[in-house]
Amino acid sequence: MKIKRVLSAMAGVLAVAALTAGCGVTSSSGSDETSSASKDKGTVTVFISGDTNVQDLWEKGLIPAFNKQYPNITVKTEIDLHGEHDQQTVAKLATSVKAGDDPGYQLVDAGWVTGQGAKANLLEDATESNIANLADVPSATVKAGQKVGIPYRASSVLLAYDSTKVENPPKTLKALLAWIVKNPGQFAYNSPSSGGSGGAFVSTVLDSYLSKEQQNTLRLKKDATAEAAWKQGFDKLASLNPYVYQKGVYPNGNTQVLTMLGQGSIEMAPVWSDQFITAQKSGTIPSTVKYAQISDPSFTGSASYLGVPKTASNKKTVYKLVDFVLSVAGQKVIADQVSGYPVISLDKMDKSVAEKFKDADISSLRAGYYSEVSSDMNNQWDQLVPGQQ
């Protein structure tokens, strides 16, 4: 959820995805397997920290598809919108595990929470003995989950722009920063603590002032010296206040940025690939809004990871759900509904999905910062950027 590869080739892949996604999901299970699965019972609650598109993925996609195979297993969701209470969530999870109690949910879909849970030894190890389909995920992607994170989808941040007003979008970070100044009020990014698309823009600006060694360090651990080198980057971000939307107004969350693009309030913004394509499919983003990738450096992308609390109840049932998510059927739901990059081998997927994502090597996405480093970045941005005009 680490390398240097530029993701420009993925824009073409995603264009294919936008045109071809939306096929139905069929189960490959035989009648005997389906009959056996119908006898499984239990309840699983999935805790989600993020935007409503992730909740919709579960409630409108994964859960209905799972219930076709396991009709007597009930799957519920609980959401912390934009991850506003992530710290409290981790604290409650730690208290539950220490007391040996079920935390009230049995599966976590929350990047920061999963990262902190891994560090604090609050999550079960992710192994092929529990999750057979984990064997089909690239080892580098599994390893990035710190032994406990279960990769289940991937995406990258791209630069979206209104093609009716922007003929030649910026191709590098330097060109993007110059465009923002030349077109005051037409660029926006959400506050980094409220969503990863804004976080990607911030970390990309910060990285442009760091050495490769410092960048790589901050993807693996906290480092005070490397973080101190952020100063020039934060100064640059603060200097953009007069030129971003309404002279320093920052949307709350990835979805608000997409809404502003769809309504024509802005001409350009960083967006998550999966959210953007889903919005175009639903009609909330017009087809005249295009997307590209910048370079030197590119925006970030990564896998999203699930986690199973150590004291979760019904673990056998939980692993049935997770294994389904990593199955061909589950990965097709993700590809069709949110245009998420599959995490299992494309050789396992049908031709339509394999063709969409043939160049999307999830093991080579430019990763974001280590979870605690991201938290430091968000806190420093809150202190140093808004209103510093």
CB count, 10 Å around CB of 279?
22
State residue 83's pLDDT score.
79
pLDDT value of position 358: 77
Tokens representing residue 31 in the block = 């009648």
Evaluate the omega torsion of the peptide bond into residue 192 and state whether it is cis, within 30 degrees of 0. no
Q: Which helix (H) or strand (E) holds 19?
A: helix 8-20
- 9 or 109: which carries more pLDDT confidence? 109
CA distance 86 to 163: 37
Q: What is the pLDDT of residues 80-135, one digit of tens each?
A: 987 788 889 999 999 999 999 999 999 999 988 998 899 899 999 999 999 999 99
Q: Is the pLDDT of residue 260 over 60?
A: yes
Confidence tier at 1 by pLDDT (50, 70, 90): very low
Distance between CA 222 and CA 193 in Å, rounded? Answer: 18
The answer for residues whose C-beta is within 8 angstroms of residue 111's C-beta and 6 or more apart is 1, 49, 50, 196, 304, 305, 371
Q: Does residue 16 have a pLDDT over 70?
A: no
What's the confidence (pLDDT) of residue 48?
95
Residue 53 tokens, joined: 């598109």
CATH 3.40.190.10 domain position(s) in the chain: 8-154+302-359, 156-300+370-384
**In this model, does residue 365 exceed pLDDT 90?**
no
Neighbours of 29 (CB within 10 A): 15
The arithmetic mean of pLDDT across residues 373-387, rounded, is 94
Which range, of 8-22, 32-46, 51-65, averages the lowest pLDDT? Answer: 8-22
Does the pTM of the predicted model rise above 0.85? Answer: no
- Report the pLDDT value the prediction gives residue 363, as an integer from 0 to 100: 67
Find out whether 208 and 173 touch, Cβ atoms under 8 Å: yes
| Interval 338-347: pLDDT, tens | 889 899 988 8
Q: Tell me the pLDDT tens digit for each residue of 43-94.
A: 999 999 988 889 999 999 999 999 999 999 999 999 998 778 888 999 999 9
Report the range of poorest mean pLDDT among 25-39, 109-123, 255-269, 316-330: 25-39
* Per-residue pLDDT, 301: 87
Summary mean pLDDT of the chain: 87
Judge whether residue 201 has pLDDT over 50: yes
- pLDDT average, residue stretch 195-201: 94
**Average pLDDT estimate for 152-176:** 95
pLDDT given for residue 293 in this prediction: 87
C-alpha span between 236 and 219 (Å, rounded): 22
Collapsing DSSP to helix, strand or coil, 250 comes out as coil
- Has residue 34 got a pLDDT over 70? no
Which of these, 93, 29, 111, 40, lies nearest to 70 by C-alpha position? 40
pLDDT at res. 388: 63
CATH number of the structural domain 156-300+370-384 = 3.40.190.10
How high is the pLDDT of residue 38? 62
**What is the architecture of the domain spanning 8-154+302-359?**
3-Layer(aba) Sandwich (3.40)
List residues bridging with 159 in a β-sheet.
270, 292
> What pLDDT score does 187 carry?
98
**Is 270:160 a contact under the CB 8 Å cutoff?**
yes
- Is the pLDDT higher at 16 or at 62? 62
